[in-house]
Chain A
């Protein structure tokens, strides 16, 4: 496969070989009373700077748990997570997370919500305006989350996650709840933001097409306990054409790997 598409150019020029994120034998076990549930087992993965890595797996394979652990919201039971070579301790500005739902504070305006992601909490208005522009919400700065459509709310959440200028952007199915058209448009915007800001992205999804459209690499997790089953580099040039025969080959390979 690799040979067929080796002419495929990576979308992000700043891909480097230095690992930005390292997961080393990470396991996560939940305990409820006497019951134990192993969500992730011995998961190892290295993500280089500028990559767009998508983690694909069936629901319940611990994808969200994995992302929350990288974000620092949860701790692994065993193993270590390193960012830029250093083990992480809780949340930090070097990582920005977009949840499955927008999770904007309903009592705050869009501008205020985004400013809470900024290190200076929006004292410097210019940075805030830049972010609003980046996600196309300039005209909705003073709107409340209730007044936004699903796509707009998710864009505001994306701006909040980007506000801390993270090295790694973590996306937990942020497009999952959107309608098909909005979803396609958001994918294009996400691509642009990733490429223009030399970000490293780790996304989680169960949507095969979305994974192929966006990713430089796709990591397939096995069902519970989640562990890396296969890693598939996507060597197609950006922007990717869903109707191309090459696209279909990836589609079939991923479908097969997921079974």
Chain B
């Protein structure tokens, strides 16, 4: 708790300095007064515009993220358990890992248009690699002693998955999912800035074309805070799933 309170110090200091600066007339016309930002926030919220952008952005991230997880975890299990598969696929994945999700946006717009498919693909792409890599790592690092136990107890394929692979790889899997979610959130904003007519990224771009500095500030704050909230959610889930690690 104490640490949480300490963490508030820096943001509060920045807001305070901002407020003082605006009051003393630093950068008029460029830096909006915090009061103006709050007023704009109230306005956006009252019109329901902000909520609509948040809803669509969250929906996109969740869809893209689940698509990525649904592909990356089975692929990770295959790659970890079946070494020829890994040999075929790893160089390609190594190449793709170097290409940032944003780089695909122009290509995807050409192929898929600027509909939902493009955004979904970018988000899923961004989330795929951390999930896949961590799944492979988590599974290949399972102690071979546990595999012996599983053989001795004559596990069925389903039991191998449910009783050994998933729980043993859980710390790594969850780390990958958490990182993947964070990546997809960032990729989402980029995708919405370049190829969307809704969502928080679009809201930012629209504010820029209308020179609404106050709305841009709101956009950035909302993106950051929502990302933080999602990450806290992951932390809670992690604590619950991995409770066997912490009990004394």
Using CB atoms and an 8 Å cutoff, list the residues of chain A in contact with chain B: 71-73, 90-93, 97, 99, 101, 103, 105-108, 116-117, 121, 144, 146-147, 160, 164
Contacts and interface: CB of A to CB of B under 8 A. Distances in A.
Contacts of B154: 91-93
A107 B152 contact: no
B146 A107 contact: no
B170 A107 contact: yes
B47 interface: no
Interface string B144-167: 011011011110000100011001
Interface of B: 145-146, 148-149, 151-154, 159, 163-164, 167-168, 170, 244-245, 247-248
Residue among B153, B247, B248 having the largest count of chain A Cβ atoms under 10 Å: B153
Given A73-B151, A91-B151, A97-B152, A106 B244 contact: yes
Contacts of A93: 154
A144 B151 CA distance: 22
A144 B146 CA distance: 16
Contact of B163 (A97, A103, A116, A164): A116
B247 A144 contact: yes
A42 to B, nearest CB: 26
Contacts of B153: 91, 116-117, 160, 164
B164 A105 contact: yes
Contacts of A107: 167-168, 170, 244
A91 B152 contact: yes
Nearest to A101: B145
A107 B26 CA distance: 57
B145 A108 contact: no
A71 B168 CA distance: 24
Contact of A146 (B159, B167, B248): B248
Listed from nearest, the 4 A-B pairs whose CB atoms lie closest are A107-B167, A144-B244, A107-B244, A91-B152
A238 to B, nearest CB: 29
Contacts of B168: 105, 107
Given A91-B152, A103-B149, A116-B153, A146 B247 contact: yes
Contacts of B159: 116, 121
Contacts of A106: 244-245
Nearest to A71: B152
9 contacts: A73-B152, A99-B148, A103-B149, A105-B149, A105-B168, A108-B244, A144-B247, A146-B244, A147-B248
Nearest to A104: B149
Contacts of A99: 145, 148-149
Nearest to B166: A107
B163 A108 contact: yes
Residue among B152, B153, B244 having the largest count of chain A Cβ atoms under 10 Å: B152
Nearest to B247: A144
B163 to A, nearest CB: 6
Contacts of A72: 152
Given A144-B244, A144-B247, A147-B248, A105 B152 contact: no
Given A73-B152, A107-B168, 11 more contacts: A91-B151, A91-B152, A91-B154, A92-B154, A99-B148, A106-B244, A107-B167, A108-B167, A108-B244, A144-B247, A146-B244
Contacts of A117: 153
A135 to B, nearest CB: 17
A99 to B, nearest CB: 7
A225 B157 CA distance: 37
Contact of B146 (A71, A103, A147, A164): A103
A34 B151 CA distance: 29
A147 B163 contact: no
B154 to A, nearest CB: 6
A121 B158 CA distance: 13
Contacts of B145: 99, 101, 103
Nearest to B163: A116
A90 B148 CA distance: 12
